[in-house]
Amino acid sequence: LSRQHRAPLYEALLQHLKKKPLSFHVPGHKMGEGFDIQAHACYSSILRLDQTEIEGLDDLHSPHGPIDQAQRLAAEFIGAEKTYFLVNGSTGGNLAMIQTVCGRGDVVIVQRNAHKSIIHGLILAGARPVYLAPRIDPETGIAAGVDGFTIEKAMRHYPEAKAVVVTSPNYYGMGSDLKKIQAAAHHAGIPLLVDEAHGAHYGIHAKYPRSAIQQGADIAVQSTHKMGISMTMGAWMHVQGQLIDKERLEWLLTVYQSSSPSYPIMASIDLSRRFFYEQGYAFLQRGWEMANRFRQAFQADEHYYIPSPERENHAYTSIDPLKLTIHIRKSLTGFMLKKHLQEKGMYMELADLHHVLAVLGPGTKKEEIDLLIHQLAVLSKEAKHSCEKENPRFIANNILYKETFQAVHEPLDITRYKGKERMPLKQANGRISGEMIIPYPPGIPILHVGERWTPELVEQVLQLKEQGARFHGVADSTLEKVTVLT
Amino acid sequence: LSRQHRAPLYEALLQHLKKKPLSFHVPGHKMGEGFDIQAHACYSSILRLDQTEIEGLDDLHSPHGPIDQAQRLAAEFIGAEKTYFLVNGSTGGNLAMIQTVCGRGDVVIVQRNAHKSIIHGLILAGARPVYLAPRIDPETGIAAGVDGFTIEKAMRHYPEAKAVVVTSPNYYGMGSDLKKIQAAAHHAGIPLLVDEAHGAHYGIHAKYPRSAIQQGADIAVQSTHKMGISMTMGAWMHVQGQLIDKERLEWLLTVYQSSSPSYPIMASIDLSRRFFYEQGYAFLQRGWEMANRFRQAFQADEHYYIPSPERENHAYTSIDPLKLTIHIRKSLTGFMLKKHLQEKGMYMELADLHHVLAVLGPGTKKEEIDLLIHQLAVLSKEAKHSCEKENPRFIANNILYKETFQAVHEPLDITRYKGKERMPLKQANGRISGEMIIPYPPGIPILHVGERWTPELVEQVLQLKEQGARFHGVADSTLEKVTVLT
C-alpha cells in the first residue's frame, strides 16, 4: 500500500506554495506576510500553510480533491467505509453523530459518564436518554465502562431506542467490550456510536485494544491530537454499515464545523494517518515498553497503585497501556502530587482527589519516564514521614446507581428555558437543573443540564455531602445553592 | 493604554516554554518532539505553542488567567462589555448567539441572504424566521443589505419577534445602516445580532465603516482571520447591554466549540488585537491607498466596474474599501477571469457569473495591486477582440421578493425528518426542502433547508430557469429534480 506513504493534503499545500502565489483571498495575514513581528518566528512557517478553499486545495465541506484523497487513505488505513476529518475536535463529531441517529423525543441508550459533547448532542436533538450506569473500578473508584448485559437489559425495557452511545476508552484508558455491545445493538437493528476520543492509536499493535470500528461500531470518533500527532482540535470520524444516513451526517458535520476550516489542522490529520502507518507500530512498541517500565517500578508500592493491562477486572475489559493512572493510596491528594511534580517541571494531564494521570504519546522519551519514576519515588519517601491517613478508595458507590439504568422521561429541551437562577438545594425538587452535578469520586454526573431534580436526588446529594464527596461542574461547590433553569 | 501592547496569552505560552516543561499531557506530539519528519520544518515552531489546559495556560471554557486577560484587552479595544475568543470560526459564534435569543417556535426577524451558520442556528433552535429581502445593488445585481424601514415594518407585523439578525457587511463589503436598525430593534425592546464576520477591521479608521458594536448592536461576531492576522478559524464575539443572557450565551459557546481549543489559534486572536491596536491605523491607511489606486485605474473602464465608497446607493450605506468587487460588464464571465488571473499566479477570493472578488489584507503589498491592475488591463484589451455580448446586470429581481419580508409559519425543525429523497421539481409542492435553492444572480436563497415548497415557489423557479438563472447549493444543477426531506 505504497500510497499510504503519501500525504495528499499536506503535499497539495506545498505544491501551491511552489507556484509563488499572490493571495487576493483570506486569511488577511497573506501567508504570514502581515503578522506580529515578535511572534513571526513562531508562526511564519505554519502561516504559509494557512490557506483557504482556493483552486487545488479542495473544500472540507464538499471534498473532491486532496482532502477527499486524504480522507480515503484514512478510511483505508482504519478499515472504515468512510472517514471524515474533524477540525472542531471530537466535540464537533460527537454533536453531529448524535443528531444523525435521533430527533425530538427519540429514546437513546447512553452511558452516563459521557463527555459533555455527547450530552450536548442529546440536548440539541431534544432526545430522551436512557442513562446506563458505568461499572466502578473497585481498585481506584473510577467510573469505567458498561457491559453488554446492561445494554441488553436496557434494550428489552426500551425497544423503541434509536441508538446505543458509549464512551470507550474513558479518560483513564479503561474500555468496554464493544464487540458484545455491538452485537446487542445490531441484534435490535440499531447503531452503536462510540466516543473513542482517547483511542486514536487503537487497532494497530497487538498489545493495545482493538479499535471500535474493528469491533463493529457504526460510528467512531477519535481525537488524532490526543494520541496521534495532529495539532490540537484535529480529529476524525469513521463510519461503516447501512444503519447510518450518511447524507444527514455530512450535513450535520457542515453545521457544527467552521465554514473556514484550518488547513494546518487538516493537513496534520493527514500527517497523523501517515505517521500511524509508517511509525505507529514502532511508537506503540516503544510506548508499551516505557509504560511497562513505569508500572513495574511501582508494582508493590505502598503509596501508589497503577492500573495495568494485566489487572483488568469486571469494571473494564481493556486498558490503554499509555495511560498511567497513578492512584494514591495514602498521605497525598492528587492535587498535591500534581503540584509537587509541576515544581519539578513535569506537567500532568489531570489530577483529582486520589489520582494523577500521565499520558504518553508519540513525542514521549524514555528519559522522561525515568525522571517521573524517580520523582514519584522521592515524593513517596517524603510522604512516609508525614500523615499516614489512608485515602478512601471510593465513596458513594452504594448510593449512586442502585439501578443499572435510568430513563429521562422528557426530552432534554433546554431551548424552552429563558435563563437561570440560584436557589437552595433543599427547595430544588421539581426544577430543571441548569448545571451538571458531578459528585467526586467517582465523577459520574448525578444530574445533567436539562434534567429534573427529584426528592430522591436531593436526598442523595445531601448524603454524598455528608460522606465528604466534592462536587464538580457546579457554581457553588458547597451545594448549598444549585442553579436551575427559569 | 500601554497594556494594549501586551499579548497575555501569547506571552503565557512563551513563559511556559521557558520552564523547559516535560509533557505528560496531550497533545501526543509533545511540543513537536514526535512528528512527521518531512513536515517538521513547517510545523515545529508552532507545535511548541500547541498546548492544553495546564497550569498557567487557563481554560477558554472557564477563563481566569491569561485567556481572561486577553479577552478583557480585546473588549477594551473594541469598546464592548465582553469579548469571547472563538476557535470554531464565526460559525461557532453565530450558532451560539442565535440560540441565546430564541427557542422553539420563537419568531426571529432575519436578513435572508445570511451565512448558512445563521440559518443552521435557527434550525437548531426550532425558531420561526421572518425573512427580510435584501436590497439589490442596481449596478452589479448583488444582494446587499436591509434598511431600517423594512425592519420597522416587519416588527409591526410580528410584535412577538425575539430578535433581529442581520449580516453586515456582506461578502462584497456592502453594509447596512446598523444605527437605524438598532434603534428599531431597541424601540421594540429586542436585541440586534450582527454577523460581522467580514468586518473585523471596522471602527478603527475614519475612512472605514463604524463597527456594529459602535452602532449599538447587542452581539457582533467577527472573523479575525479574514481581515485581521489570526490563523484561520480564529474569530471573536463582542457583547454589550442588558438584552443578552450572558450565562446562556457562555454555555452555548461551550456547546459549539471544541473542549480542546487550539492555543496557536487563540494566541493568534490575542496577537490580532495587538496588531489592530499597534498597526491597525497604518495598515488601513495603506490598504485604503492601494484600493483607491485600483479603483481609479478602472474608473471609466468599459469592461470592469468596481463598486466604491464614493458610489454608495440605496442598496447599501457603507462599503469596505478593501473588498475589490470586479464586476465584468461584458465578454468574460467571472469564472473565466478568475481562471486567467490564476494562470498568472493571482488567486482570488471568489468568482461568480459576473464578478471576481479580490480581498486586501494586512499582508497585501503595493506591488501586488499593480500586478493585478496590469493583468486586468491586459485581459480587458484581449477580450475586446472576442465576443462583445453585454453581461446582463442581473435577472430575476422582479420575480424574487416582491414582498419585503416573508414569514415561515412553522418552526424549522429538521430533526423530525429521517432522510432525503430526490423528486421532480414539478411534484415538490408541499414537501420540505432538503437543500438550499440559490438562484444566481442575485444569490439570495429562494428556499432554505427545512422550508416548504409552495406552488408559487415552484412557478418562480421555473421562470428563473427560463431566464437563464443558475442554481447554487443544489444536488442537480438543472433543477429537474430537487432534494426533499422524508
| CA neighbor of A220 nearest in space, from A167, A179, A184, A274 | A167
Q: What is the DSSP string of B208-233?
A: SPPPTTTTT-SEEEE-HHHHSSPPTT
B chain contacts of residue A42, beta-carbon cutoff 8 Å: 45-46, 48-49
A112 touches chain B (CB under 8 A): no
B176 touches chain A (CB under 8 A): no
pLDDT at residue A465, rounded to an integer: 79
- pLDDT tens digits for range A116-169: 899 889 989 888 888 888 888 888 888 889 988 889 989 999 999 999 999 999
The pTM score is 0.94
B chain contacts of residue A223, beta-carbon cutoff 8 Å: 26, 260
**3 state DSSP class of A89:** helix
A chain contacts of residue B348, beta-carbon cutoff 8 Å: 24-25
Using 50, 70 and 90 to split pLDDT, how confident is the model at A400? very low
Q: Which of B28, B46, B262 sits opposite A362 (nearest CB)?
A: B28
Q: Which of B23, B364, B413, B436 best probes binding to A when mutated, by most A CB atoms within 10 angstroms?
A: B23
Whether the link from the prior residue into A321 is cis, omega within 30° of 0, is no
Q: Could you identify the residue written with the cell 440499531? A: A190
Strand order from edge to edge, sheet including A405-407: A82-86, A235-239, A219-222, A192-195, A164-167, A107-111, A128-132, A405-407
pLDDT at residue B382, rounded to an integer: 83
User: At A249, which helix (H) or strand (E)?
Assistant: helix A246-256
> Counting Cβ atoms within 10 Å, is residue A90 exposed (0-12), middle (13-18) or buried (19+)?
buried
Angle among Cα A58, A82, A223 to the nearest 5 degrees reads: 85
B chain contacts of residue A201, beta-carbon cutoff 8 Å: 28
**CA-CA distance, B109 to B184, in Å (whole number)?**
12
| Closest Cα in chain B to A37 | B275
pLDDT at residue A44, rounded to an integer: 97
pLDDT at residue A194, rounded to an integer: 98
| Closest Cα in chain B to A48 | B42
Q: Which of B36, B91, B368 sits opposite A259 (nearest CB)?
A: B91
Q: What percent of chain A shows pLDDT beyond 90?
A: 65
Q: Which of B19, B85, B208, B229 best probes binding to A when mutated, by most A CB atoms within 10 angstroms?
A: B229
B325 touches chain A (CB under 8 A): no
Q: Do B24 and A359 touch (CB under 8 A)?
A: yes
A154 touches chain B (CB under 8 A): no
Average pLDDT of chain B is 90
- pLDDT tens digits for range B263-320: 999 999 999 999 999 999 999 999 999 999 999 999 989 889 999 987 767 789 999 9
Q: Is the ipTM of this complex over 0.90?
A: yes
Inter-residue contact B32 to B47 (CB < 8 Å): yes
Q: Which of A22, A265, A346 sits opposite B347 (nearest CB)?
A: A22
A7 touches chain B (CB under 8 A): yes
B158 touches chain A (CB under 8 A): no
B296 touches chain A (CB under 8 A): no
Q: Do A7 and B368 touch (CB under 8 A)?
A: no
Inter-residue contact B253 to B200 (CB < 8 Å): no
pLDDT at residue A48, rounded to an integer: 97
B22 touches chain A (CB under 8 A): yes
Does residue B467 surpass a pLDDT of 80? no
Residue B314 Cα to chain centre, angstroms = 21
Q: What is the CA radius of gyration of chain A?
A: 23
Task: Provide the shortest C-alpha distance from residue B424 to chain A (in Å).
Answer: 19
A227 touches chain B (CB under 8 A): yes
A308 touches chain B (CB under 8 A): no
Taking residue B317's Cβ as centre, other Cβ atoms within 10 Å add up to 21
Task: Provide the shortest C-alpha distance from residue A477 to chain B (in Å).
Answer: 15
Helix axes A366-384, A263-297, angle to 10 degrees: 50
Using 50, 70 and 90 to split pLDDT, how confident is the model at B112? confident
